[in-house]
């Protein structure tokens, strides 16, 4: 619920919400809310879950685009002023080598100047926030494709984040995606290290029409969401989705290591979990299990016991299953509950309600986990980053004692 006095969404107390079978409605389940309005002229809004509207996404993208442009302009001005100061202060080089040796042509001051220029112009952390439009929806709403990277020529691992957002029930997944982008674009030293080593690509809202209209399980035309067989047989209708899949294939083909992560909600889940694939190769399966094990260290609402690893089939509702698995590509699906979570503990379970801040924190934990998973082996991370990652309690040490629910969904 929210109104003018409380612009942020807040949960009603459990004493105000009743869910029961009504005899007056044929023993059907009825949701009843007891609320006292403080002012008649005030507007009150009620929602079953935390909503995430298309307008909120557009405002978020616009705000960060303006902020990144301002940072780049301030950085250019500071570099110009620093370059002018260095030109005025640097000593003149000796033109003749008769009185001085060739190794003394440049003084310590000039060497320091060149080092300063090389740091700012070659390895400076210039964030490249690129917002593209994959296509227009049926209601003429653009589908955003956001890439976050640093302007360097190095070949880095790729991370593709796609938030299903196919209806009004996926607001929690959109908040997790927003938490990831918020932290990646921040001024944190950890975020700078992540941007220099990993390139990120986001599709924060795949189907804006369903979010705008309010559909929960189907698209605007009433079809099932993102079934690979349905997409292939109706390529003209789902042209935007076909183009999106082609972009994913090109990204995975042009990198050595890629992680594809789909964000969605699960109404029958408490907390969050990872759904992945089961491989017959033991080494490949061990590599595939590394991401959920790392995530269990950083996220309090993640429990490894809930994870499911299935064998892929020809027809699946996962978005990335239609993309051919390339070498070094891992595909996951992160499911989060819209209701509550319990802190990861082997002895007891203390349930706590989800809030907007908790979803944003889960997105931050995902960023930490991806850094720990894809960090380069030939580079040493800064001390502040290593100390921050090591400060988390190693809650995944007892992960082998838990039973992994590896299921097979192959047709008989």
User: What is the tens place of the pLDDT at every residue in 82-133?
Assistant: 666 666 654 544 344 344 443 333 333 333 333 323 223 333 456 778 888 8
pLDDT of 326 strictly over 50:
yes
Domains annotated for the chain, with CATH where assigned, are 1-46 (no CATH), 127-407 (3.40.630.10)
pLDDT of 192 strictly over 60:
yes
How far, in whole angstroms, is CA 353 from its chain's centroid? 22
Report pLDDT digits (tens) over 352-398: 888 888 999 999 999 999 998 888 776 777 877 887 887 775 544 44
| Residue 404 binned pLDDT confidence (cut-offs 50, 70, 90) | very low
Residue 370 pLDDT: 92
Residue 84 pLDDT: 67
pLDDT of 225 strictly over 90:
no
Q: Which two structure tokens, joined as six digits, stand for 160?
A: 């593709």
Percent of the chain as helix, strand, coil, to the nearest 5? 40, 20, 40
Pairwise CA distance, residues 254 & 268, whole Å: 38
12 vs 201 pLDDT, higher one: 201
237 vs 364 pLDDT, higher one: 364
Give pTM, 2 decimals.
0.79
Report whether 353 contacts 340 (CB < 8 A). Answer: yes
Q: Which two structure tokens, joined as six digits, stand for 34?
A: 């007891």
Sort 202 into a burial class: Cβ within 10 Å, 0-12 / 13-18 / 19+.
buried
What contacts 214, CB < 8 A, 6 or more positions away? 167, 168
Half-sphere exposure of 378 (CA within 13 A, CB side): 1
Across the range 54-59, mean pLDDT stands at 89
3-class state of residue 272 by DSSP: strand
Residue-level length of the chain: 412
């Amino acid at each position: 619920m929210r109104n003018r006095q409380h612009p942020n969404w807040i949960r009603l107390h459990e004493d105000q919400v009743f869910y029961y079978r009504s005899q007056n409605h044929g023993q059907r389940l009825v949701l009843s809310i007891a609320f006292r309005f403080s002012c008649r002229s005030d507007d009150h809004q009620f929602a079953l879950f935390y909503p995430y509207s298309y307008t909120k996404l557009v405002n978020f993208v616009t705000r960060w685009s303006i902020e990144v442009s301002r940072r780049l302009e301030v950085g250019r001005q500071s570099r110009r002023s620093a370059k002018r100061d260095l030109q005025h202060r640097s000593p003149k080089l000796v033109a003749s080598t008769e009185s001085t040796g060739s190794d003394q042509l440049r003084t310590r001051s000039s060497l320091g100047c060149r080092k300063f220029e090389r740091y700012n112009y070659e390895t400076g952390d210039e964030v490249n926030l690129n917002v593209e439009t994959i296509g227009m929806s049926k209601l003429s709403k653009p589908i955003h494709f956001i890439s976050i990277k640093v302007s360097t020529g190095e070949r880095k691992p790729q991370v593709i984040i796609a938030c299903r957002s196919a209806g009004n029930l996926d607001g929690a997944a959109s908040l997790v995606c927003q938490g990831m982008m918020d932290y990646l674009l921040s001024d944190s030293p950890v975020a700078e290290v992540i941007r220099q080593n990993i390139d990120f690509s986001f599709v924060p809202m795949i189907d804006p029409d369903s979010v705008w209209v309010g559909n929960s399980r189907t698209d605007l035309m009433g079809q099932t969401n993102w079934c690979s067989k349905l997409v292939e047989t109706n390529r003209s209708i789902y042209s935007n989705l076909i183009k999106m899949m082609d972009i994913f294939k090109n990204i995975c083909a042009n990198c050595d290591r890629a992680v594809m992560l789909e964000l969605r909600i699960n109404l029958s889940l408490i907390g969050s979990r990872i759904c992945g694939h089961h491989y017959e190769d033991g080494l490949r399966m061990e590599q595939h299990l590394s991401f959920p094990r790392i995530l269990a260290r950083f996220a309090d609402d993640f429990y490894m016991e809930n994870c499911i690893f299935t064998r892929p089939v020809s027809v699946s509702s996962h978005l990335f299953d239609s993309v051919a698995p390339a070498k070094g590509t891992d595909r996951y699906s992160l499911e989060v509950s819209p209701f509550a979570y319990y802190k990861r503990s082997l002895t007891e379970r203390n349930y706590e309600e989800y809030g907007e801040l908790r979803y944003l924190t889960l997105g931050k934990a995902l960023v930490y986990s991806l850094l720990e998973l894809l960090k380069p082996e030939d580079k040493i991370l800064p001390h502040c980053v290593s100390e921050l990652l090591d400060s988390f309690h190693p809650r995944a040490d007892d992960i082998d004692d838990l039973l992994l629910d590896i299921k097979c969904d192959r047709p008989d």
